[in-house]
Structure formats: structure tokens, C-alpha cells
Amino acid sequence: MRLLPALAAVTLVAALTSCASNPTPVEEGSFASQAESTFAPPGVDDVEPVTYTVPDADCPPWWTGLEVTTDSAAKVADLDDIVACTDAEGKQTYLENRSRAVLLLSAVTVTPSVALRVRAGPGETSFLGIVRGSRGQEAMAPGSAMTVNLSPHEVAWSPDLPLTVGWEGHTLIVRKLQELGDAVATAALTRQSPAGATLVACTLNVTAEASSAGDVAGSDAAKVILAGLRSSKCRAAADNAGVADDLDELRSERKLLEAAAANVRTGWASSLAPPDGADLLVP
């Protein structure tokens, strides 16, 4: 028997605008009735709304896929980047991030009445903990999923470019720590060693560097990441953990840096309709 949600008319609005460090998530991406979906991103020609229905097979058992709607022509091919589902009563929401961009869920905070269940690996869990600690908000790293005790109407999200760059920086640092041994990387990811403090400090500084970039959409992501790793707080934490030389090696790891920049470019291009001719973080 196919269970239908009480909020069968709910749609996920994926109307997108340029990134800001403190976006307005309800406008950029939220669940709302189609009649409310009037936000149009600046600089993008309006198109007829396109709707994608998340297959029930992509949802947890007995849950039902929601409709994802966008007015952005650039986003049409990427409607399946976010799996959005609700339970039979429409009281819980499931989200899965299949994009390469980090999503900031500004409307979701962890309170006793809002239980949060996250499915993520050690790297994603570490990064999400850093975001939670620094911003007091929940985020979704690429490849992660979460279920919250909130109806779709109560959940709002927006792609966050600085956090996406920070995620790639975090991934590069973890990779360098893994070269020192799995035990070193595991201790850092769980904050049980000085290298854990390095991971936190450097991730935050890479994110801050991306936030302060004047023309972030035209910046070189690899240079932004390296600038964050060279910051005084990151260097001090790395020196204290004895891994400063290892992080310095990233400057010569051109293929890794190019791959990180490509991930940022892909993730942000699928989340943002850029102005014509915009060069999105090309290394």
C-alpha cells in the first residue's frame, strides 16, 4: 500500500540567488505551497516553473517524495540534487544532499522538541560539528542526509558558497592527515588530539577567507583555500600539532587543489544561476 502524506500539495522551492554569508533561506530554498513560489533570482530570466517529483524509491521506507519546483532555467537539470521526502503524517522531513554544495539549514536548530538524525561519514560528521559550533546552525555536507521532526513547511535551506569552499578545505586537510596514518586522522576527526584543533581552526579560516573574498564567484577556489591555510590561527594550530609542514605540502599538490576547485565550481554552478559569462572559481 502506498502511503500518501497529509501535505501532498507541498513543493520544495529551489529558487536561487547569489550567495551571501547570511542568506535569507526561506526565499532561496524552502518548502512552500506553489502559490507562494514567487521569488525570482536577480539577473535570471523567468521561465515557466519546472517541477520534479522525488521518486518514493529514493525516500526512506514508507515515506513519500515531495515535489521540487524551480523558476531558474540554470537549475532545471539539477532538480534531483536534493532528495526531499515526508512521512505519512507530514510531520517529519527527510533531506539528502546529492550535490557538491554545502546546504545551510537556517530554520533548523537542535532543541528538545526537534530531534535530529543525521546520516554522515566521519568526515561529514566532523565538518557539520564545526559548522554547528561556529554558526549555531545545521548544515548538510555533500553526501549527507538528515531527518528532522519538522514538517516540510518548517524547513528552509540555502546553498552556502563559503561553507562549500570550507568543506573542500576540510577534505584536503583530512587527506593530508590520513597520510600520517589512519589513527592520526581518526583522532583529529573526533577532536581527540591537537590535530583536531588544527582541523577546526583551519576549516574555519578557509571558510572565513571565502566569506571575505570580494568577488567570490570570480575567485580561484584553490587560492582561497591556500590563503585560509596560511592564516595565523591555522598556522599556530598546525605548529602546535606538529603538522604544519604536512599542510604546507598542499601548496604543491596541484592536482588535489584543482580537484577541490572543480568540486566547488560544480557544486555552485548547480546551485546558482550565474550572470552570463561568469567564471565560477576556475583554477
Q: What is the pLDDT of residues 204-225, one digit of tens each?
A: 999 999 988 755 555 688 889 9
For residue 283, the model assigns a pLDDT of: 24
Dihedrals φ, ψ of 229, to 5°?
A: -70, -25
Range name among 25-34, 96-105, 234-243, 255-264 with the lowest pLDDT average: 25-34
Q: Which of 16, 17, 19 is nearest to 166 (CA)?
A: 19
pTM, full prediction: 0.75
- 141 or 80, greater pLDDT: 141
Work out the number of other CB atoms within 10 angstroms of the CB of residue 21.
Answer: 16
pLDDT digits (tens, 9 = 90+) for 47-102: 567 778 899 999 999 999 988 776 655 555 566 788 999 999 998 999 999 988 89
> Which pLDDT band holds residue 152 (cuts at 50, 70, 90)?
confident
pLDDT at 103 exceeding the cut of 50: yes
For residue 106, the model assigns a pLDDT of: 63
Residue 265 is which amino acid?
Answer: R
Tell me how far apart the alpha carbons of residues 275 and 85 are, in angstroms, rounded to a whole number. 32
